Amino acid sequence: MAKSSRLRSRPVNRSGLQQLPTRLLQYPLVPCKGRITVTQEDLACLDAGEFLNDVIIDFYLKYLLLEGVGGSVAQRSHVFSSFFYRQLSRRRAAGEDHASSVPDRHIRHQRVKTWTRNEDIFTKDFLFVPVNQESHWFLVVVCFPGLDVVRHEDFQPAAGGPDRPAGKITVNMKPQQPPECTQQGWRKRRVMKRSCILVMDSLKLSNHENVCRLIRDYLQVEWEVRRKTPRLFTPDSMRSCSCRVPQQDNSSDCGVYLLQYVESFLQNPVVHFDLPVRLENWFPRQRVRQKRDEIRSLIMRLKDKEPNK
């Protein structure tokens, strides 16, 4: 079973004191709220066979959204940190027990309500939620959270080719026929849009039903708080789907696949939401095999660009 990286024990110097991790980079490079600190210890997670930790996951997702891929899809998307679902899903703490009469979904929402204080997620088309469940990474994509009916619209092909991350390592790979439901593969004039939850799991080991329920509960309370009106988010009004996606062939790459799912979605998004969604040929396995070196090179390039170096 693929596991996330756990914090390694810190090295000890000759005097017997623990050494602090060596800071490599703070991203974004420009000082701002929510910067991510990447250490030498985090970089070791990118070694072959190691499990990615939350720092590497959050760093690369932020990079993809801010400057790695760009384009209209990124502008219409919101990425939650890996800590979001961890906070949302944890059991009630001792200090929360006194509020036994308060519905569970309100208690959970209370923990994370400030994270979207300055952003209305219901104006976004896509919400990316990295999930670590039973030490296994997978991705949840909430599509059109503000849409309350199924719509059929004219298909608007994207102008030009797909966006590519800056500095991306290129490897000769056989071209694949893109999935029919995606931007590059769609050949019809009309598309279906619906509010739904897409689960992308490279091993399919986890039970996703509870994850989808907690996310629907969160959206329901967030809608009430932001829009000041009630709205039910149910399995009928917001269906969930375990997508058929490229699968890992080892025990350590679940986090790498999660990152590639997001990158592929930003480059070649799903445009037709007739469930279930089939994305088996979204990207070749070789692209994932180069991902660790790609992220390592990116971190070192950004480190060299960091001010005051």
**pLDDT per residue as tens digits for the range 206-238:** 679 999 999 999 999 999 999 999 999 999 999
What pLDDT is attached to residue 171?
44
Residue 98's pLDDT band (boundaries 50, 70, 90)? Answer: low
Inform me whether the pLDDT recorded for 272 exceeds 80: yes
Bridge-based pairing of strands 151-154 and 190-193 is antiparallel
Please tell me whether residue 182 adopts helix, strand or coil conformation.
strand
Bridge-based pairing of strands 77-79 and 36-39 is unpaired
Strand duo 196-200 + 239-242: pairing: parallel
Amino acid 164: pLDDT: 46
Q: Could you give the 3-state DSSP secondary structure of residue 193?
A: strand
Report yes or no: 249 and 286 within 8 Å, Cβ to Cβ: no
* Catalytically active residues, by annotation: 136, 201, 254
pLDDT of residue 33: 85
Beta bridge partners of 152: 192
Q: Residue 299: which H helix or E strand, with range?
A: helix 291-305
In this structure, how many other beta carbons lie within 10 angstroms of the beta carbon of residue 142?
26
3-state SS class at 137:
strand
Phi and psi for 182 in degrees, rounded to 5? -100, 170
pLDDT tens digits, 112-137: 999 999 999 999 999 999 999 988 99
Cα separation, 124 vs 113, in Å, equals 17
pLDDT at 156: 87
Asked if residues 53 and 132 have their Cβ atoms less than 8 Å apart, the reply is no
Residue pair 67/60 in contact by the 8 Å Cβ criterion: no
Q: Please state the pTM of the whole predicted model.
A: 0.89
Is it the case that residue 34 has pLDDT exceeding 70? yes
**91-126 burial, b for 16+ CB within 10 Å, e for fewer?**
eeeeebeeeeeeeebebbbebbeebbeeeebbebbb
- For 56-76, write each residue's pLDDT tens digit: 999 999 999 998 676 889 999
Domains and CATH numbers, the chain: 23-93+102-154+174-305 (3.30.310.130)
| Mean pLDDT within 271-291 | 96
With a pLDDT cut of 90, the percent of the chain lying above it is 73
pLDDT band at residue 2 using 50, 70 and 90 as cut-offs: very low
Q: Hey, what are 101's tokens? A: 């009469």
Element (H, E) at 141: strand 136-143
